[in-house]
Amino acid sequence: VAKINLGLDVPSKRPDGYHEIRSIFIRTDFGDDFDFESFPLKNNEVPEFQLVSINQLNPQKAPLFEAVSERGDLSKNILTKAYLKIFPYLNDKIGIRVHLTKRIPPEGGIGGGGSNAGSLLRELFPLTSLNPIEKNQLAKSIGADVPFFLQDQNCFVSGIGDILEPIKIGKAYGILAIPRHSLSTKAMYEGLQKSLQNTLDSKIWKTLTEDVIRNLQVGDWKSLN
Report, as residue numbers or ranges, the catalytic residues: 3, 145
3-state secondary structure the chain: CCEEEEEEEEEEECCCCCEEEEEEEEECCCCCEEEEEEEECCCCCCCCEEEEEEECCCCCCHHHHHCCCCCCCHHHCHHHHHHHHHHHHECCCEEEEEEEEECCCCCCCCCHHHHHHHHHHHHHHHHECCCHHHHHHHHHHHCCCHHHHHCCCCEEEECCCCEEEECCCCCCCCCCCCCCCCCCHHHHHHCCCCCCCCCCCHHHHCCCCHHHHHHHHHCCCHHHC
